[in-house]
Amino acid sequence: MADTDAFFRTEMLPPKEPPLSQRGVWKWMHENMFSSIGSGALTVLGILFVLYVLASAFPWFAHSVWHADSLRQCRDIVHKTWGPGTDGACWAVIRANWNLYLYGFYPMEQIWRPNLAFLLLLVALSPILFSRLPRKMIWFSACYPALAYWLIWGGTLWISVTIMAGFAVGALVLRFLGRIAGTALGVGGAVLGAVLWWLFVAAPVATALADIVPLHLTFVPSDKLGGFLLSFITGMCGIGFSLPMGILLSLGRRSDMPIIKTSCVLFIEFVRGVPLITLLFTASFLLAYFLPPGTTFDLVLRVIIMVTLFSAAYIAEVIRGGLAAIPRGQFEAADALGLDYWKAQRLIVMPQALKISIPGIVGVFIGLFKDTTLVIIVGLLDPLMGISNAVRANVAWNGVYWEPYIFAATIFFIFCFGMSRYSMYLEGKLKTDHR
C-alpha cells in the first residue's frame, strides 16, 4: 500500500463576507418579509395597498394651500395653480384658527398664562421622568398643580396656597399621629385634618392674605377653555391623580379587611362596567340634583373628577395583575425582615409590581388622553369635534372636512407616541435581567 501523508494547513484562510442573503438588508427582508410563501404574499399585498393609498392621497397633499381667508379662496388658488377640477388640502383653515384649536375661547390678551403653565409643566415633569435631575426639583413638581390652576383660571393666588397648605397639614398629622397610633389611624387623621382645614380655615386665611398682599389675575371661566388646552388639563390631571388612586384601590382589593375589600371591588367593577360617557353625563346633569340649592360646581372640575375615577379603576386592575405576578417569596422576605405592611409595599412589593405593570399603565394613560375628546358630550369644546364644528360654523370655512380632523389626529398621535416611547425607555432602564 502506498504511503499517504496527512495534509495540515499552516496558514489561516482570509475572512470572507457571508452570502448576500445572510447579511444586511437582504437578511432582514428574508427573515421579516419573505420568510415563507404566505409572508411574501402578505408583504406584496401590503406594499401594493400602501402605494395605492399614497398615489391617491399625494396629489391632495401636494396641492396644499396655507395662506387664504376662506375655503372658496383656497379652491380658487388650487384651480388657478394646478388647473380646473384639481382638489387640494386647505391648511389655511388651521392657520387662520390656530389660537382656537390651541386655547378655545381663552382671552387673547391672557394667552401668556397657559403658555407659561405649559412651560412650567415641562419643568415639573422633568424630575419625575428623568432620575438624573436633582431630586430637590420634586418640590416644585408638588407645588405645580396649585400654580397651574392660578395661572389658567386666575383669581387670587392665596386660594391655591391655602389648598396646598391643607396637604401640608395632612402630612404633619400623619407624621406625628402615625408614630403614636400607627399608620392606619395616622392616615385617617391626616385625611380628617386636611378636610377640616379646607372646610373651615382655608377660605378665611385666603381672604385675609389677599387683603394684605393682593396677588390677583383676571378670572377666566371654564366655558372659555377649549381645544388642546382643555385636553391637556383633563388628561394631565387624570393621569396625575389616577395613578396613586389606582395603587390604593389595587391594595384595597387585595386587603384582608372585608369592608375595605368589598368597597374597592364594588367601586372598580361599577366604574369598569359603565361607559365613560355615562359618568360624564352624571357629572354634568345628575350631580346638580344631589347638591344643595344654589351650589355651583365647576364643570371642568366635575369632568376631571369623573375621568380620574374612571382611569383609576382600570389602573387598579393593571397593578393588581402586577402584584399577582410577584412571587410569594417576596412577601415572605419582607415579613422576615420585620417590615410592616406599608414599608413592605413601598420598598419591596410595589416597585416590582409597577415595573411589571408599566405597559398596561401607559396603555390606560394613552386611552385616557384620547378619551378627553368625549367632553363634547357635556358641552365643552374638545379639539377634535367641538372646535372643528365651531370652525365649520364660520361661513368662510363652511365645507372644510378632512383638514381639521387630520390636524387634531396628528397632534394626538405625537403625544400618544411620545408616551409609548417613554414607556419603552423606562422598561429598558428598569430591566434587571440580561436576557
Q: CATH number for the domain including 406?
A: 1.10.3720.10
Q: Which pLDDT score is estimated for 199?
A: 86
Round to whole Å and give the CA distance between 52 and 219.
52
Helix then strand then coil, in percent of the chain rounded to 5, is 75, 0, 25
Task: Say whether both 424 and 275 belong to one domain.
Answer: yes
Instruction: Say whether both 274 and 363 belong to one domain.
Output: yes
pLDDT at 187: 77
Does residue 376 sit within a domain?
yes
Alpha helix stretches (DSSP H) within 273-344? 276-281, 287-290, 299-324, 328-336, 341-344
Please report whether residue 24 resides in a domain: no
Secondary structure letter of residue 21 according to DSSP: G
Boundary of a domain, candidates 217, 236, 253: 217
Q: Do 267 and 185 belong together in one domain?
A: no
Can you give the residue range of the structural domain that contains 77?
A: 59-96
Amino acid at 34: F
Please check whether residues 186 and 237 belong to one and the same domain. no
Out of 217, 237, 254, pick the residue that ends a domain. Answer: 217
Q: CB burial class (10 A; 0-12, 13-18, 19+) of residue 342?
A: middle
Residue pair 423/359 in contact by the 8 Å Cβ criterion: yes
* Tally of structural domains, the chain: 3
**Final residue before a domain boundary, out of 48, 74, 96:** 96
What is the structure's pLDDT at 263?
A: 92
Collapsed DSSP state (helix, strand, coil) of residue 193: helix
Residue 210 shares a structural domain with residue 237: no
Whether residue 125 lies inside any domain: the answer is: no
Cα–Cα distance between 307 and 271 in angstroms, integer?
10
Judgement on whether residues 267 and 366 belong to the same structural domain of the protein: yes
**Residue 420 forms part of a structural domain:** yes
Q: Are residues 378 and 307 in the same domain?
A: yes
CA distance 246 to 318: 9
Residue 354 included in any domain: yes
Torsion of CA 358, 359, 361, 362, to 10 degrees: 110
* Same domain, yes or no: 259 and 334: yes
Say if residue 210 is in the same domain as residue 286: no
68 and 92 Cβ atoms separated by less than 8 Å: yes
Q: What is the pTM (predicted TM-score) of this model?
A: 0.84
Dist. CA 194–CA 153, nearest whole Å: 23
Please indicate, yes or no, whether residues 174 and 276 belong to a single structural domain of this protein. no
Residue 310 burial by CB count (10 A; 0-12/13-18/19+): exposed, middle or buried?
buried
Residue 123 inside a domain? The answer is no
Per-residue confidence (pLDDT) for residue 4, from 0 to 100: 59
Establish if 36 belongs to a structural domain: no
Residue 127 lies in a domain: no
Measured CA distances, 139 to 94, 128, 144 (Å): 38, 11, 9
Q: Is 141 exposed, middle or buried (0-12, 13-18, 19+ CB in 10 A)?
A: middle
424 and 287 inside one domain: yes
Which residue stretches of the chain have pLDDT < 50? 1
- At residue 184, the pLDDT reads 67
- On whether both 211 and 235 belong to a single domain, the answer is no
DSSP H or E stretch at residue 53: helix 37-62
